[in-house]
Structure 1
């Protein structure tokens, strides 16, 4: 059994993107496997400050009274303020529990993670879910972008081991941060296939609500430039010419929403953020789920759509390139190319038998390779290696001290 202190800036019921769902499922699967898991996270209105749920101790840190607004995309003042309350909550947790390892998820908890590592004298594991450089296609235009990049590099350097979700991200961690490949572990994201199977009645209701007389396409995610929704909208004229009555649902919210709404027409519905049951129903009702990302470290939402039984069309980039086999478990298209996107989605919509085969093979692939118990086991193996590596480091440092004590010092003593 490993005693884990896990840090995340989002956790149910507070969800912003895929990170919170990942930490929730991973911590529950680790607890089910017999590990002792405490998650320290941000408080959500109406949620308890502390609870035991699904075998996990969850401690939620309330915001301090001073308000730090996010202006111009600069999250740094807010993030540093948030980490003060997160650190205090984590230190309170440490008074009533012992831990073997601190596990940090992304840069927004980096300062808390290093503080807890030093205070508890336990090793640090860091999961890098995405990078600031990758989000901006290598362009870091503002001082806050460059500072976030520096924090990510610092967290990666301070951790004994680094977890990433794909080989693509292992390469990126090495290229951007100088992380040696043998210090970076690839552990994929997982999917609870049962959770993503909507009831037929809910699927029918979603179909009635969103679909017209033609096929239904959907997307779900944070509405930011790198998710590529603008490319899906640019592909619509070619698709509607082939498929009269086609409708599109864009689920989610984010800073790019207004620009996307200005690009869209009456065929497109912006649903806002959907709850878990609403999202599974939408996916299940869709004839094709599209992931048009320009940058995507893994692409967990493609697996979630596959678990919902929906054929997927994804950009051939990042982690998506590895998890989808073209023509077998989905279709892929050249990233950034609306014409290629339209052709790939059109191939799915034009042949229901082909679409059904893609969905069946994808669901089988998810069940075989991306279950949370297997992801938790791989993560626990990283903890074991971390503890072994850290024990070796401590022994080497002790030996160095003993072999370099000056003779005059021992004489004086």
Structure 2
């Protein structure tokens, strides 16, 4: 099958888990002998469109149009529209150069490009919804920017012949918030290849020396935004440190909430106990393996890929029982769970892992078997191709998108 993938991010341009997902999926599809072309943004300063080929995989990187976009609250929306101008031109040129079977869009940021390709080239559109604007705000649309993003998400979902989501929770959310027909929403989880998360012993040792000191080590990995719940992990640290002397925390990642988290750390006199490590890139697997527990304190989490990756790396996992995480972490079997937004419960779950190392090691082994059985990218690629084929056999009925209507209020679900 010949597949055109559209994505806002792709290595080396990485913002969160979406880029890792598209990278792994595209390579798994190509490894299964499908012809895959990814059209994505080029790094800043790139003067012209570039293309690179690796077997059955082609990456087309497109520089942004030199458009003046406003700052302030609406900057992300304006920037997305500006980039879509460039992505659309490149995607149409690619789509018309060969007989593609399907276009696969990833989230609202490439919606205009994807829908234009569907309409102009006449190939089915499959969309993966990685998260929704309403979900990121616990069911609310707090302002005009959120309502604008939500409107594009609804439009894209209802223009798509198939919608793919990463968990049963997200299937409910996309149907509830975006009004996509339930029969066209299909669950395909994210994945992780165990071999790619198996770090060498000396690298694990170096990570331990760098971050742990002489006590236990906790870890967090992800984008630093409010909904990831890092503030709850930091709030739990004083009590945890009293119970487990010398305990430290390493925070891998960056994002717009980093300043507030640093201020919270200082206010709790934890500066020497918390390392803001930024993006660890090639050292992430070793750092995860070096921890005594990886904590996933999300208040909103469509899937929870970091729980899969941490398990594959060999770290015990304590995760909030929310969203897709509830479908991954089975309490007492593949990790420990706690109610989102509750530092006390987080502390109890983490303390259980730190206090009973043999039980934690058993959970790690059980979780690693789960990852190998359920979340290989080869299996995920095969299931995705099945949805491509169904989209070709059963396209969206004409007029389905006309059902779209924005909500009258700001609350979509609770």
TM-score interval (norm. to shorter): over 0.9
Preserved CA contact (<8 Å) 1:70 1:78: no
Residue 187 of structure 2 corresponds to residue 186 of structure 1: yes
* Residue in 1 that maps onto 2:407: none
| 1:305 corresponds to which of 302, 310, 315 | 310
- Structure 1 distance, partners of 2:96, 2:140, is 43
* Residue in 2 that maps onto 1:274: 280
Change over 3 Å in CA distance of 1:282–1:174 after alignment to 2: same
Q: Which runs of 5+ in 1 are unaligned?
A: 395-413
| Structure of larger gyration radius | 1
Change over 3 Å in CA distance of 1:213–1:46 after alignment to 2: farther
Deviation at 1:54, TM superposition (A): 5.3
Deviation at 1:73, TM superposition (A): 6.6
The 5 A counterparts of 1:96-245 are: 96-245=97-246
Q: Deviations over 1:164-205 (max 9, x none)?
A: 000000101111122222111100001011111111111100
- Structure 1 distance, partners of 2:165, 2:186, is 6
Preserved CA contact (<8 Å) 1:124 1:159: yes
Deviation at 1:136, TM superposition (A): 0.7
* Residue in 2 that maps onto 1:402: none
- Structure 2 distance, partners of 1:281, 1:183, is 40
- Structure 2 distance, partners of 1:303, 1:9, is 23
| 2:294 corresponds to which of 289, 293, 297 | 289
| 1:324 corresponds to which of 321, 329, 333 | 329
Deviation at 1:59, TM superposition (A): 0.3
- Structure 2 distance, partners of 1:90, 1:353, is 53
Preserved CA contact (<8 Å) 1:203 1:284: yes
Q: RMSD value over aligned CA atoms?
A: 1.6
Deviation at 1:96, TM superposition (A): 2.4
* Residue in 1 that maps onto 2:390: 385
- Structure 1 distance, partners of 2:75, 2:109, is 12
Preserved CA contact (<8 Å) 1:31 1:37: yes
Q: Deviations over 1:243-294 (max 9, x none)?
A: 110000111111100000001122111111221x211111011110000000
Change over 3 Å in CA distance of 1:71–1:53 after alignment to 2: farther
Deviation at 1:35, TM superposition (A): 1.2
Change over 3 Å in CA distance of 1:148–1:273 after alignment to 2: same
Q: Which runs of 5+ in 2 are unaligned?
A: 399-414
**Aligned positions, number:** 392
Deviation at 1:137, TM superposition (A): 0.8
Query: Aligned with 1:313: secondary structure?
Result: strand
* Residue in 2 that maps onto 1:35: 34
Query: Aligned with 1:319: secondary structure?
Result: helix
- Structure 2 distance, partners of 1:387, 1:39, is 20
Change over 3 Å in CA distance of 1:69–1:192 after alignment to 2: farther
- Structure 1 distance, partners of 2:74, 2:88, is 24
Preserved CA contact (<8 Å) 2:218 2:250: yes
Preserved CA contact (<8 Å) 2:69 2:75: no
Range moving further from structure 2, 147-156 or 170-179: 170-179
Q: Deviations over 1:193-243 (max 9, x none)?
A: 111111111110000001111100010111000000000001001100111
Deviation at 1:140, TM superposition (A): 1.5
- Structure 2 distance, partners of 1:358, 1:301, is 16
Preserved CA contact (<8 Å) 1:247 1:268: yes
- Structure 1 distance, partners of 2:183, 2:361, is 40
- Structure 1 distance, partners of 2:300, 2:136, is 6
- Structure 1 distance, partners of 2:70, 2:83, is 11
- Structure 2 distance, partners of 1:372, 1:99, is 22
Preserved CA contact (<8 Å) 1:8 1:105: yes
- Structure 1 distance, partners of 2:96, 2:162, is 25
Query: What is the TM-score normalised by the length of structure 2?
Result: 0.92
Deviation at 1:84, TM superposition (A): 0.6
Preserved CA contact (<8 Å) 1:289 1:311: yes
Deviation at 1:46, TM superposition (A): 8.6
Preserved CA contact (<8 Å) 1:28 1:54: no
Deviation at 1:378, TM superposition (A): 0.5
Query: Aligned with 1:72: secondary structure?
Result: helix
Query: Aligned with 1:119: secondary structure?
Result: helix
